[in-house]
Structures are given as C-alpha cells and as structure tokens.
Amino acid sequence: MLQIAFYGKGGIGKSTTVSNVSAALQEMDRRVLQVGCDPKADSSRPFWDGNRPPTVINLLKDDRGRDPEVGKYLHKSASGVEYIEVGGPEPGVGCAGRGILKMFEILEDAGVLDDDYDAVIYDVLGDVVCGGFAAPLRAGYARHVYVVLSGEYMAMYAANNICKGIANYAERRNVRLGGFVVNCRNVPSEIELCEAFAKAVGSHVVAVVPRDVVVAKAERKRATVVEAYPQSNQAEVYRGLARAIVNNKLIATPVPLSDEQLEELYFSFKVDDDLDDEMDAEMAATA
C-alpha cells in the first residue's frame, strides 16, 4: 500500500494536486483513500458534487465526544475515490492539530486504515511546525512525503521546513522524501530554481505542473481536471505524476538547508534585465 503525505505552503495548489492524483490513481484501478488534514475541510472539494460532507470534528461535537460511525465520515466520490475530512475548530478557538491526532485515534479504533487500500494519501496543511500536523509522519501513517513547490521564496522556505520535519522522523518512523512537485506560478527561472533546491536537499523534481486555465474551469465544475477534462494536456500531467509516484525509486532522507543557505541559493538566480523591462512596461500600461 502506498502511504503518502502531501505537504506545502498554504495556497500552493496542494489540494488540487492531491485530488487529481487520487482521481488518476483511481483510473489506474487503484483503491484510493484521500484524507484531508486541514481545518478548512476542502481537500476533497472536487468530489463533493455540491454537498459538503460532515467532518470528523463536527461529528465528534454532534455525538458529544463519542467516536462517530465510520459511515458518517467515510465518503465516496462518483468515480470511486474514498475520502475523509478531519475539519477543525472555529477560527481562533481550539487547536486543529489536536483534531488530526484525535482523527487518527478514531481511524485506528475503527480499523479504517487496515482496509484493503492501494493508496492512502494525506493532504496536510502548510509547514510542519505543529506536532498535530506532523502526525502522519510522527505516527508512521505516511511513509513517503511529496512537497508541492513553486519558484516563490516563501514556498521554498516552507518546503525547507518540511524537509526538516522529514529529517527529524526519518529514522524513527522510516519516513522518506519522495520528491517535489513544481506547481508553476510562472516566476523567473522557476523550474531551474526548484530543481537546484531539490538537488541541494538531496532529492529531485518528480513532476512539473504547468499553469493552465483548465484547472480553474474544472473547479467551476466541482470536479478534478482528470474527470472534467480527461483529454486535456493538464489531465495527462496529473496522470504522469500518479505514475511517477507509483514507480518512484528515488526516495531519500533530505538534508535541509540553513536559512542562510536557502537565501543564498534563491538569490543566486538573477532576474534578467529584459524581463525587468517587460514587467515595468506591463505595470506602466495598467497604471
């Protein structure tokens, strides 16, 4: 069974990537469970068909702390992808990380993770800075981590922090870095910069996902690209990523950079003067 966690900076396109990978694996006749570990409870949005599913945390509230029945929080999309949303507390109240820890207790007691899945994919919020959000790694639920990355500095900063978390649990929990997925933002030297960062921490770029309007179109249809636009180039990119994950042999323990090393690497990639001139002209035209 593939036991995978996707991490990355908030807003990097992680949930879109995860849902499309799940849909692509399902196309390959894999039985997939996607677990959304985000208080927004939106990891599985493309599978909802307009109906927001109850979350584990809300069910706990409704049942006054009693473990809810599996059928109340384990859902299945029209295409067959099974999914769970952890949910979280109201903004400013409680700790979402504790909710994730409680969810794993519930899944263990119910034997959900012992079921006959070919892949269990955890979609985890942001950096590994909280023990709760590190739970898939710390408790050994995820064996391989994939980090969604772009050529923006804060995305790389978050990715480096995630590498630190993986390195912390690598030996104790047999967790490894599977590699990086570049979700393009079309910033200067993006792919080269991400490849240089991946090499610097001892890993590699698994796939490059180009920026494409078809992703937004699929969102408007409440579907994954793989399901809504199966013949598109973007759908084939996600299928290629799913195949790369299944066949990936380049698993490593990352060697994170210091903050100073990360800055040195990032700013070693110069923005060429021609591009500066183009950007200045665009800003002037829209002023």
Range of the domain at 100: 2-286
Which pLDDT score is estimated for 234? 95
- Interatomic CA distance for residues 19 and 273, integer angstroms: 39
pLDDT tens figures, 197-243: 999 999 999 999 999 999 999 999 999 999 999 999 999 999 999 99
* pLDDT score of 277 more than 80: no
Q: How many CB atoms lie within 10 A of CB 248?
A: 16
Question: Number of folded domains in the chain?
Answer: 1
* Candidate list 38, 102, 123, 127, residue with the active-site label: 127
Which residue of the set 29, 38, 40, 63 is catalytic? Answer: 40
Region class of 65: left (phi > 0), else alpha (psi between -120 and 50), else beta: left
Catalytic residue among 9, 38, 102, 123: 9
pTM of the model: 0.88
Nearest alpha carbon to residue 160 among 149, 169, 172: 149
Residue 153 in this model has a pLDDT that exceeds 90: yes
Distance set, CA 86 to CA 35, 113, 130, 135, 146 (Å): 7, 15, 16, 13, 20
Kindly give, in sequence order, each residue whose CB lies less than 8 Å from that of residue 133, ignoring residues fewer than 6 positions away. 37, 96, 97, 100, 124, 125, 126, 127
Active site residue 14: yes
* 114 three-class SS: helix
Is residue 84 within 8 Å of 36, Cβ to Cβ? yes
- Cβ atoms 5, 136 nearer than 8 A: yes
Share of the chain above pLDDT 70, in %: 86
Longest dimension (CA), the chain: 62
127 included as an active-site residue: yes
Give the domain CATH number at 133.
Answer: 3.40.50.300
